[in-house]
Structure 1
Amino acid sequence: MKKKWISGMVATVLIAGALAGCGNSNNSNTTGSTNEGNASNGEQTTNSGNKGSKTEKLNLRLYTYGTEEAYNWKKTLDAYNQVNPNVTVELVQLSEKGDTQEATKKLDLAAASAEQIDVLMFSDAAAYAQRVALGMAAPLDEYIAKDGYKVEEDYKVDTHLDGKVYALPGKFNPWYVLLNKDHLDEAGLSVPSDWTWDEYADYAKKLTKGEGATKRYGTYFHGPQNGGWMEFLKLKLENQPQNSEFLKADGTSNLDDPNFRATLELRVKMEKEDKSSVPYSDIISQKLAYRNQFFNQSASMLTIGSWMNTEIGGTDKVPLTFHVAVAPFPKNNPGDERGLTPVTTDYVAVSNSSKHKEEAYKFVRWYTTEGQVVQGKNIPAWNGVKSEQVASIIDIILSGTKNPELVDKASLVDTLVSSKASQIIAPASYQAEVYKAINEEYEKLILGNQDVDATVENAKKRVDEIIAANKK
C-alpha cells in the first residue's frame, strides 16, 4: 500500500505539472533569473584572458518559501558568493507571502516539470518525509561522513529518516507564548517565567473582555486547519520528553495517551465554557490571520513559533502599538521539566535531480551553520552558537523591527535559552493522512457533533486503519 501511495503522489504531481505547463508560472515567483544559456545545466564559462583558458562559473538554484523580509536572502547569498566567487545561488521564491502550503504545491509542480532545482527547503517534518519518499531529496550521509561530524551532535534537531540524512536544519524555532503586556498590566497579571496549561487558561479567562464584534479574547489558537497547524491539537503532548507526537517512534498510534484527551478537553473548555479563545468556526469561516489577531489586540495571548522574533517588534505591514512580553510553552503539571516545547526548523536539502550535488551540499552546510549567523534572522539550530550568544543575536533581530523598545527582551531571551526540543520522532510518509483524519474528528467535536470520548475513539480507529493500510 505504501508503494501505491508514493506512486499515486507521483502521478498527481506529474498531472498537475502538465496542467501547469498551460499557464505562465515559470518566472512569476522567481528572482535572480538565470542568465541566458545557463538554464540547462547551471554552468557558465567566461574567458580568463588566455587563449583556450576558461573559468567555470556555477549557478545553483534554491527553491524556498522564505521571503526576503523573513530571511534576509540578498545579504546571505551575497556573503556566500564572496567566499565562493565562482558560485552564484539563484533564489526562487515560491510564495510572495511566505505561504508554505502554496510554496509546497509550486515546488511539486517545478519538480514534475523537470526544472533545474539544486537546493530545496521544507517547512515541516511531514513535508520533508513525504518528499524524501518521493525521491526528491538526495541522501547527504556520504558528504557528512567526509566532513567528519554527526547531525545529532552538531545540530539541535536530528533530521534522520530511516537511518539516513536528507536535509540539514536551518533555524531553531521553539514555540512560545506572545503576551500583550499592557493587557496583563491592566488585569494585574505578571509575565510568567514558568507556568502550566491550567494557569494559561486562567490568564486567558481573566484577559477576556467585552462582547460581540468588539470582544477581546484571552487567546487565539490558529489550528488545526485542513490537516495543518496540528500543533494546536498536541498542546499537552508536545511538552513531553518522549511520545510527543500522534504516532510513536515505533509507528504505532499514540492517541490513547491521556494527554491527547486532555488537549481536547482544554480546547473545549476554553472555547465553550470559558469563552476565552477565538471560536474555531470564526477562524475557519473568516480565514483569520494570527498576526492580525494579536497585533490588532483582538487576542491578548498567542501561542506560536519563534519565527515571530523577526516581527515581534512590529513591521511596516503589521505595526506594534503596545508592549510585548514572552512566556515559555506551558507545562502540564507544576513539577514537569521546564522549557520542553515543539520546535520547528527549515529542512534544507539537496535536490536528487541536481547535476551539482556536492556543490549544493557545500552550500547547504554553510547556510545551516555560518550562514544562519550571517542571515541574522533566527536562532540557529547549529550547536556552534552558544547560549550566551543568544542575547546578541536577539539584538540584531530586533534591530530589524520598527519598535524594538516595546519588546520585553529579557523575557524573550530567557524563554529562548530555556527552550528545548522533545524527542524528535521521524514522521511517517503517510503523516498527512493521519493529520487529516484527526483534524476531521476534532471538527466534529468543536462544532458540537460528537463528544470527547467519541472523538478519541474515532480518531484512534481511523489512524490505526491508516497505519495498517500503509504497512501492506
Structure 2
Amino acid sequence: MNKKLLSGTAASVLALGLLAGCGGNNSNNTSSPSPSASGSAPASSSASASPSASASGEPVNLRLYTWGTEEQYNWNHTVSAYEESHPGITVEVVTLSDKGDTQESMKKLDLAAASNETMDVIMFSDPSGYAARVALGMAAPLDDFIAADGYKVEEDYKVDTHLNGKVYALPGKFNPWYVLLNKDMLDAAGLSVPTDWTWDEFADYAKQLTKGDGADKVYGTYFHGPQAGGWMEYLKLMIENQPTNSDYLKQDGSSNLDDPNFRKTIELRVKMEKEDKSSTPYEDMISQKLAYRTQFFNQKAAMLPIGSWMNTEIGGTETVPLTFHVAVAPFPKNNASDPTGYTPVTTDYVAVAESSKHKQEAYDFIRWYTTEGQLVQGKNVPSWNQITGDQLEPIIDTILSGTKNPELVDKKSLVDTLTVSKASAIITPASYQSEVYKAVNEEYEKLILGNQDIDTMIANSQKRVQEIIDSNKK
C-alpha cells in the first residue's frame, strides 16, 4: 500500500477497507456478514429539552458509532445514566457488528462516512485505525475542549492519544500487558509475587521455576511469539516498556533497531532458551502449534507475559479450567531505576466526528464516558488515572465473577498491577508496518533455529527494515 493518502473520500474509504481486511482483531471474533448498522440503545423517552442541552437550548441527539456490543459494553445502562444526568441530551448507539468484530465494524464505519451518515461520536479499536482515520479528517481535534477543561491527556489518562501534536480521541478501556504467575509454583520455590521487577529478575525467576525433564518438564516461562509476523510484542520486550519509541519504527518513520534495548531483548530470549533452558523452545511453539492458554493453565509454564484481555479467563473457563492459584505481576522493566508500569496497551479511542454538528455535546459525552462513565459501565478496566484501587475492585469482581474459580485468583495482585500500568506514547503506524514485522520475525527465526548469530541477525534486520522504509518513500 502506498504511503501517500489516496485522494477523494471514496478512494480513501476503499483503501481503509483493504487495510481493515489485513489487520488484526483483538476481540478474537471472526468476520461474518451482518445486517446494516442499527441503533442498539434507543433514545430514552424520559429525556426532555433543557436550556443546557445545547447553545440554542434545543434537545440534542448524539449518534455513537461503535464496534462494541451490548454484552461487551453495557450500553443501555451506560447511556441511560448519562441521559438522566444530562437532560435534553439523548445518545443513540449504532452498533456496527453484532459480533463485536472490529474489522467488520471499521469497514462499515468507512462506508457510513462515505455515505455522509450523521455521526457525532466514533470509537476506534486500535492505534492504526485511529491514526488512519484521523489522517482522513474523520475525527475532530479536541485540544481546545481539553484546554477549556484544564487537564492534560498524558496526565489524566494512562494512554497518551496525541497524534502529530494534537489530541483527536480520549481513551476508554485499559488493557495492559502483565505477567500471569502460577502462585503455587512460586510458593514451592520460595519466591514472592513481584510488585516491581526487571527483566533480569524475570529471567532469574524463570530459571528457578524450571523443573523436570522430557514430557514432564515445566518451563519457567512461555513466549507466544513471534510467529508469522504476528505476536511481535515478544521480540521487543525491552523496547515496548519505554515511554517513547516503543516499536521497531520511530514516530518520524525511521528505524528504531539501533536501540540497544532491541539487542538486549534478543540476547535475553537467546539466553533464556539456549543457556538457562527456562523458556519453552521456539521450535516447539512453531512445530507443535502451542497455545498460550493451555501452556499456562495445563501448568507447562509457570509464568506467562500476556495481555489483560485474559482478565475474563484468569479464573478458569469451561474449556480451560483453573486448578491452581494465580497471581499477577507488572510487565518487567529494564533497570531498577526505570519508572514502573510501562507496558503494551490496547484501548478504545473515543473521538468526536469532524462532521458532527454538536461537537461540544459530543465532547462532553466522551469526557464523561472515558472517566465516570467507565465506572457506570462496569465492564472494563478504565484508562482514567483518577480511578483508585477501591473503585477498580468492583469492576474486577464483576469480571472475575464470570469465571469458574475466581477464588483461586490473587485479586490484590491483579488490582495493584492494573493500577500501576501505563501506556507508552502512540507511534503512528506505518502502512508497511506488517512488512517490518515479517522481516524482523524471519531474521529472528534464523537465529533461534541456529542458522545465524546475534550480530548477523541484528545487521540483517536493520538492513531489511531500512530497505522497506526506503522503498516506501518513493
Q: What range is the shorter-chain TM-score in?
A: 0.7 to 0.9
- Corresponding letter in the other structure for 1:332: N
Give 2:93's aligned residue.
90
CA distance in 2, matches of 1:453, 1:71: 47
- Corresponding letter in the other structure for 2:35: N
Give secondary structure in 1 for the equivalent of 2:4: helix
C-alpha distance after superposition, 1:297-356 (max 9, x if no partner): 332211123343344333456443321111222233445444443343322224456676
1:27 correspondence with 2:40: no
Distance 1:231 1:127, change over 3 A: farther
- Corresponding letter in the other structure for 1:430: S
Distance 1:290 1:456, change over 3 A: same
CA distance in 2, matches of 1:251, 1:15: 22
Unaligned 5+ runs, structure 2: 22-30, 50-57
Give secondary structure in 2 for the equivalent of 1:265: helix
Give 2:106's aligned residue.
107
Give secondary structure in 1 for the equivalent of 2:257: coil
Give secondary structure in 2 for the equivalent of 1:245: coil
Conserved 8 A contact 2:64-2:92: yes
1:238 correspondence with 2:240: yes
Distance 1:193 1:26, change over 3 A: closer
Q: Equivalent residues in 2 for 1:387-466 (5 A)?
A: 389-391=391-393, 393-395=395-397, 397-422=399-424, 424-430=425-431, 432-433=433-434, 434-466=436-468
Q: Equivalent residues in 2 for 1:40-51 (5 A)?
A: none
Give 2:123's aligned residue.
121
Give secondary structure in 2 for the equivalent of 1:4: coil
Conserved 8 A contact 1:180-1:324: yes
1:179 correspondence with 2:181: yes
CA distance in 1, matches of 2:32, 2:346: 33
CA distance in 1, matches of 2:203, 2:108: 43
Conserved 8 A contact 2:212-2:218: yes
1:79 correspondence with 2:87: no
Offset, 1:197: 1.8
- Corresponding letter in the other structure for 1:201: A
Aligned with residue 154 of structure 1, among 153, 156, 160: 156
Conserved 8 A contact 2:238-2:333: yes
Give secondary structure in 2 for the equivalent of 1:341: coil
Give 1:194's aligned residue.
196
Give secondary structure in 2 for the equivalent of 1:349: strand
C-alpha distance after superposition, 1:233-265 (max 9, x if no partner): 221123345543323455432211221011112
Conserved 8 A contact 2:172-2:348: yes
Give 2:28's aligned residue.
none
Using the size of structure 2 for normalisation, the TM-score is 0.78
Offset, 1:384: 3.1
Q: Equivalent residues in 2 for 1:211-250 (5 A)?
A: 215-250=217-252
Q: Equivalent residues in 2 for 1:371-386 (5 A)?
A: 371-386=373-388
Offset, 1:163: 1.9
CA distance in 1, matches of 2:377, 2:361: 20
1:309 correspondence with 2:317: no
Give secondary structure in 2 for the equivalent of 1:325: strand
Give secondary structure in 2 for the equivalent of 1:195: coil
Conserved 8 A contact 2:331-2:342: yes
Give 2:4's aligned residue.
4
CA distance in 1, matches of 2:346, 2:201: 25
Give 1:270's aligned residue.
272
- Corresponding letter in the other structure for 1:103: T
Distance 1:13 1:263, change over 3 A: same
C-alpha distance after superposition, 1:393-452 (max 9, x if no partner): 544544554433212233233333443444x14324436243343334333333444332
Using the size of structure 1 for normalisation, the TM-score is 0.78
- Corresponding letter in the other structure for 1:92: T
Offset, 1:282: 4.9
The root-mean-square deviation of aligned C-alpha atoms, in Å, is 4.0
CA distance in 1, matches of 2:73, 2:20: 28
Give 1:51's aligned residue.
none
- Corresponding letter in the other structure for 2:236: K
Give 1:144's aligned residue.
146
Conserved 8 A contact 1:168-1:348: yes
Offset, 1:91: 5.0
CA distance in 2, matches of 1:283, 1:124: 27
Give secondary structure in 2 for the equivalent of 1:312: coil
Offset, 1:178: 0.9
Most deviating of 188-197 and 107-116: 107-116
Q: Equivalent residues in 2 for 1:355-366 (5 A)?
A: 359-366=361-368
Offset, 1:173: 3.5
Conserved 8 A contact 1:119-1:351: yes
Conserved 8 A contact 1:220-1:278: yes
CA distance in 1, matches of 2:213, 2:63: 54
Unaligned 5+ runs, structure 1: 36-41, 49-54
Distance 1:180 1:89, change over 3 A: farther
Most deviating of 8-17 and 298-307: 8-17
CA distance in 2, matches of 1:246, 1:17: 21
Conserved 8 A contact 2:62-2:120: no
C-alpha distance after superposition, 1:146-187 (max 9, x if no partner): 545432343232211112222111133333211011222333
Distance 1:301 1:163, change over 3 A: same
CA distance in 1, matches of 2:449, 2:356: 47
Distance 1:336 1:143, change over 3 A: closer
Identity among equivalent pairs (%):
66
Most deviating of 280-289 and 131-140: 280-289
CA distance in 2, matches of 1:372, 1:105: 25
Give 1:322's aligned residue.
324
Conserved 8 A contact 2:225-2:231: yes
Most deviating of 366-375 and 102-111: 102-111
